[in-house]
Amino acid sequence: MSQTTDWELIRLSNGNPKYFKHIVERYQNRIFHYLKRMSYYSNEDVEDMVQEVFIKVYRSMNDFESTDKFSSLIYRIAHNHLVDNIRKSNVRPNQNYLEDEEAVNIIRSEINLEMDFASSEAIEKIKIAILQLPENYREVLVLKFLEDKRIEEIVDILRKPQGTVATLLRRGREMLKNELLKAGIKN
């Protein structure tokens, strides 16, 4: 099954959930980390969310068009599920689940900071600066620099026009850079 494409698996899964297992195996880690990076939930809660996301993916499989990138469709469902969850709980993230290296990866394009030379205090400041960004800016940065998504994919995941995504990305980076400069982290 490792050679079978996502679309073939989706076609086989339609009516036989057993094949869907392979889709889950391919994407569960990526979706888990994406949700974890974007939320304040515990591992157990995020695992529950991952389950719900894949059940939604299974339910929506007839809505997918083979011209779309399959991973973008899963991310889109995960994004919508996360937005619904945050809206329902009405609680904003107050903790940061970014790994040290992930935090540095996000700011690397703005500030020339090598992981090896970054002090734990600096990394903590970076994490706080990232956390303080408005959610829509933070999400675009996470998708771009941690999930390695191209702009076109982010457009499909967030269902926002390309210009809007590019603006969010540019402004998010600027805001982050300003926050870091204020915190005394300079390139």
CB atoms under 10 Å from CB of 134, counted, come to 11
Tokens 């290296």 appear where? 101
Q: Residue 155 in contact with residue 165, Cβ under 8 Å?
A: yes
Which range, of 41-49, 110-118, 123-131, 175-183, touches other proteins by CB under 8 A?
Answer: 41-49
Q: Single out the residue of 4, 5, 59, 134 in contact with other proteins (rule: CB under 8 A).
A: 59
Q: Give yes or no for residue 134 binding other proteins (CB under 8 A).
A: no
Phi, psi of 114 (to 5 degrees): -90, 140
Q: Among residues 46 and 126, whose Cβ is nearest to other proteins?
A: 46
Q: Among residues 109 and 136, whose Cβ is nearest to other proteins?
A: 136
Size of the site for other proteins (CB under 8 A): 32
CB atoms under 10 Å from CB of 114, counted, come to 8
Nearest to 173 by CA among 144, 135, 141, 148: 141
Footprint of other proteins on this chain (CB under 8 A)?
14, 17-18, 20-21, 24-25, 28-29, 32, 43, 46-47, 50-51, 54-55, 58-63, 65, 155-156, 159-164
